Structure 1
Amino acid sequence: MAIKIEMLRCFATVARTGNLSSAADILGRTPSAISMMLKQLEENLGEPLFETDRKSKLTTLGEFVLEQAERELSQFDTTIQEILDFAKARSGRVRLAAVPSIASTILPDAIFQYLEKYPDIFIEVRDMDSASVIRELSRNRIDIGIASTQGHSTPFYTETILSDAFGVICHANSSLARLDRSLTWQDLSQHRLIANSLSKSIDIPECIDLHANAGLVVQNITSLMAMIKNQVGITILPEMTAKTATSPDVIFLEIADFNIRRNIEIIKNSEAPSSPAARILEDTIIQCIRKYETDRRGDMR
């Protein structure tokens, strides 16, 4: 019979306590079961581990086995605890990348709730555009991506978690803001369009024509909002992105007969199963998005 970890634990406990009864209490077994396991270990070794049946003094072999057993038991127990912590999301690391509109509106609440329950998980959050999120996932630099795959081919698993409408973002002093109606494409043609990667993905003739004449392209959302605030021009973005603007001078306006929407998706490498910590964080984010959508519908009533 091969030597098992249970035999080493039994022997080490008896050696530390000096008697079978105390070891049995610690291990939750009967003294006879402890005695049988010690006998099996000694039969495997071919030599006694204790000098007498009282188990109070170790042989030379017993001293050596105790030293080795305690080292291996410590390593084994540490390994098992790490496995359990990982499985129950008590330890681990989650790398997350999201588009700025999600990173600034949904994630703060989701991560707060998550860390309240799992404070020992290390979370790395990065905000970037959708193309960068997909690229980082393909390079295995993140575990979860939250972005839009519209206009991007991807082999990854995707699940739509949110949808919001495109509209015009402009300065509050813009003449567009003073129109007492929904905007038309003709209205937009009278203003300088600041193109961006999201607006360029809209595949309708009116929007394509506007972009063909755009003399300015800004990809970074922070820079784009700064341009709007300084009245450089107008741009077309999803409604949630407008919420990232910290200035009351930047507003969002609807376009008449314009029902183009951006889908926000959870993006993962389906071939690489998520860790328990990542799965729980993903569920928390989805719950926060559902609450956000419920609150938003309530505000629109």
Structure 2
Amino acid sequence: MSLRHLRCFFAVAQTGSFTLAAQQLFKTQSSLTATIKQLEDLAGVQLFDRTTRRVELTKDALWFKEVAGRILRDFDNAVSDLQAVSRSERGHIKIAVAPSMMPHVLAPALVAFRRSYPEVAISVHDEGSDKIERSILEGTTDFGLSTPLNNFPDLDYTPVLADPFGAVYPKDHPLARHKGKLTWADLRHHEYVGLTKDTGIGALIYRFPELRLDDQGSEYDHASSTTSLYALLKLGSRITVLPSLAAHTGQMTEFEFRELHEPRIEREICLITRHLRSFSPTTRRILEILMKTIREMDSIYGARILNSEDGLKPSRRNAVSEKEPRSLPPQEHPGVRRHTLG
């Protein structure tokens, strides 16, 4: 027994005529009659009493008409909904991003997406790198934009942006009077506030002990986010180190930012997705708009777009120099995939 049988039965039950039902279904009357006979054989009961003027439902078939109608409506509605999702006329996209990606990258991409697909619901969460990666791994988020932290083998990381690190300090700090290029060595004699190791930015700094920002012989202040970092910087006379996009986001714009040299170091932002997970048509459309937005970005606060004429490619750098900025790579794990966006 199939939906074909139910459609034929319901059409005859509704019209009370094999002739009208056949026309409605674009079938020959003989074909429709054969299908109804087959359904009666499968069910083991007679479904219609046939007279010369009208076809009527038997007592055994009266209740079945309501059931068949409900099944057909549910099926047709489900197919309609599925087609609407494929056209992005409805659906739900869940995105997790580093806070610094919100105003500079995601917001303009969402404006363009909503303009074309106004009926799609969008959920956005600004989280730290660890939570972003885990939410994608657990399937509660469709994709993320962040600095890689855990490098889970089941996730794919596609580099899309790199922005340089710099010093962040109050406008009346002694560093504001520093002439010429600011180097990492220039920071060593100032009170430093760092981000914790479980943040993407903090983890990157900790992987380069030669920078010696924490070599002060005692404990120093830590923050778990740029929000709490702002509060510590407001205590005065303190400095921190952030990538340029993070330093030009939200409350952090209250402070001065100067790019650091010797070495010049960049943070790498990746599009993070679940490995082997198929994108829904809606997710694929928003990703296409997101990547188009990134490619068309003017240079914002020294950020560099990691793309080329043949697509986005991972940044592979093995030396630190003034001519070739260093992208701080996440610690690689066996099996970690670094991808271009195809």
TM-score by length of 2: 0.75
Give the distance between the partners of 1:201 and 1:76, measured in 2 at CA: 52
Q: For residues 194-213 of structure 1, what are the structure 2 equivalents within 5 Å?
A: 194-197=193-196, 198-199=201-202, 201-202=204-205, 203-207=207-211, 209-213=212-216
Asked whether the 8 Å contact 1:173–1:249 carries over to 2, the reply is no
Contact conserved, 1:103 with 1:127, CA < 8 A, in 2?
A: yes
Cα deviation for residue 57 of structure 1 reads: 2.5
5+ residue gaps, structure 1:
none
Residue 40 of structure 1 aligns to which amino acid in structure 2?
Q
Alignment partner of 1:37 out of 10, 35, 38: 35
1:82 maps to which residue? 81
Contact 1:133 1:145 in 2 (8 A): yes
Structure 1 Cα separation of the partners of residues 227 and 246 of structure 2: 10
CA distance in 2 between counterparts of 1:185 and 1:96 reads: 35
Q: Deviations over 1:74-126 (max 9, x none)?
A: 22223323333344433433322111101232222222332333333333211
Structure with greater strand percent: 2
The CA deviation at 1:48 is 4.8
Provide the rounded CA distance (Å) in 2 between the counterparts of 1:200 and 1:143.
24
Q: Name structure 2 gaps, 5 residues minimum.
A: 305-342
Give the Cα separation in 2 of the matches to 1:298 and 1:98: 20
Question: In the alignment, is residue 114 of structure 1 matched against residue 113 of structure 2?
Answer: yes
Identity value in percent: 28
**Which residue of 2 is the match for residue 183 of structure 1?**
182
Q: Is the 8 A contact 1:15 1:55 kept in 2?
A: no
User: Secondary structure at the residue paired with 1:141?
Assistant: coil
Q: Deviation at 1:269?
A: 2.0
- 2:229 pairs with 1:224: yes
Listed one character per residue, the Cα deviations across residues 26-63 of structure 1 (whole Å, up to 9, x for unaligned) are 33344444344334334444525133254442222342
Hey, what does 1:69 align to over in structure 2? 68
**Is residue 245–residue 303 contact of structure 2 (8 Å, CA) maintained in 1?**
no
* CA shift in 2, pair 1:128/1:297, >3 Å: closer
The answer to whether the 8 A contact 1:229-1:249 is kept is no
TM-score normalised by the chain length of structure 1: 0.84
Per-residue deviation at 1:295?
5.2
2: CA distance, partners of 1:70 / 1:278 = 34
Distance 1:87 1:136 in 2: 24
Aligned length: 295
Structure 1 segments of 4 or more deviating over 6 A?
Answer: 297-300
Distance 1:185 1:158 in 2: 29
Aligned amino acid, residue 8 of structure 1? L
Pairing 1:266-277 to 2, within 5 Å after superposition: 266-277=271-282
